[in-house]
């Protein structure tokens, strides 16, 4: 395992693990309430090590081993964390791999750093989920009470969304217009995803400006796409993207 390091940015320390190697650097962007030690991130890192490729994993502020309170963070804060990692830790071009909310962040980062981002791989990418992922009643509760708590299928801890995060996400929605990204994009999505509808990847495919774009649906795959065969597909997709002319 690579050494745990910290980047000081905007008054707080972000934890990360970075391995030098052949570029472009793979940068993994975790999902909501996740961190850099998830199964997909670590499996991709192990593959990158075996291939001698550069890889960067990190925790957003308030997540994992990074400083900050989770409930104080907005989507814009985590976008800025990703940009700080790209700007200060990764060297040269990058390929971003985003899981769920990380798929939204990879799009925002690619728009902000088009000269650095050479490719995107989304795993159940969830852009604009502050819009389509909440009922009208939940949105009213967020406005009035400042938070919504839901039972999480992945953890004993409740799934908490704050008004800070929700309002930040609403200000960064992408799918109401063409998404100005031109680099190659690969999307993976399970048809049994109970959290992010797989048809969203088809919508994203239509809205992205890139002409080099592919979407692969995994029959029976759930939201996490973390079964051995799913991870093998992720690695094969990343490898093929990196090897393209």
Active site residues: 100, 193, 223
How remote is the C-alpha of 164 from its chain's centroid?
19
**Cα 110 versus chain centre, distance:** 12
Which residues on adjacent β-strands are paired with residue 187? 122, 215
**Which of the 8 DSSP states describes residue 67?**
S
Per DSSP, 185 falls in state E
CA torsion through residues 4, 60, 53, 42, sign: positive
Q: Is the CB of residue 73 less than 8 Å from the CB of residue 82?
A: no
Q: Cis omega before residue 173 (within 30°)?
A: no
Q: What distance in Å separates the CA atoms of residue 62 and residue 12, rounded to the nearest whole number? A: 10
Which of 57, 35, 29, 30 lies closest to 45 in space, CA to CA? 57
Closest CA to 129 of 94, 175, 191: 175
The pair phi, psi for residue 16, each rounded to 5°, is -155, 160
**What is the four-CA torsion angle of 38, 43, 48, 49, rounded to 10 degrees?**
100
Instruction: Please tell me the distance from the alpha carbon of residue 183 to that of residue 178, in angstroms, as a whole number.
Output: 14
């Amino acid at each position: 395992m690579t050494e745990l390091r910290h980047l000081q940015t905007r008054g707080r320390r972000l934890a990360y693990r970075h391995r030098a190697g052949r570029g472009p650097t793979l940068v993994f962007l975790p999902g909501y309430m996740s961190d850099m030690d998830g199964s997909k991130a670590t499996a991709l890192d192990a593959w990158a090590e075996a291939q001698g490729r550069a890889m960067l994993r990190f925790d957003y502020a308030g997540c994992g081993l990074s400083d900050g309170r989770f409930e104080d963070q907005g989507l814009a804060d985590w976008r800025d964390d990703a940009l700080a990692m790209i700007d200060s830790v990764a060297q040269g071009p990058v390929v971003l791999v985003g899981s769920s909310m990380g798929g939204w962040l990879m799009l925002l980062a690619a728009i902000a750093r088009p000269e650095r981002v050479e490719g995107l791989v989304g795993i159940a990418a969830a852009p604009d989920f502050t819009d389509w992922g909440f009922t009208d009643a939940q949105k009213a509760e967020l406005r009035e009470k400042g938070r919504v708590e839901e039972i999480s299928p992945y953890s004993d801890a409740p799934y908490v969304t704050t008004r800070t995060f929700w309002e930040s996400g609403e200000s960064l929605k992408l799918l109401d217009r063409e998404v100005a990204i031109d680099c190659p994009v690969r999307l993976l999505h399970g048809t049994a995803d109970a959290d992010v509808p797989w048809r969203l990847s088809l919508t994203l495919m239509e809205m992205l400006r890139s002409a080099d774009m592919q979407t692969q649906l995994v029959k029976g795959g759930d939201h996490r796409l973390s079964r051995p065969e799913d991870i093998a597909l992720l690695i094969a997709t990343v490898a093929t993207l990196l090897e393209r002319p």
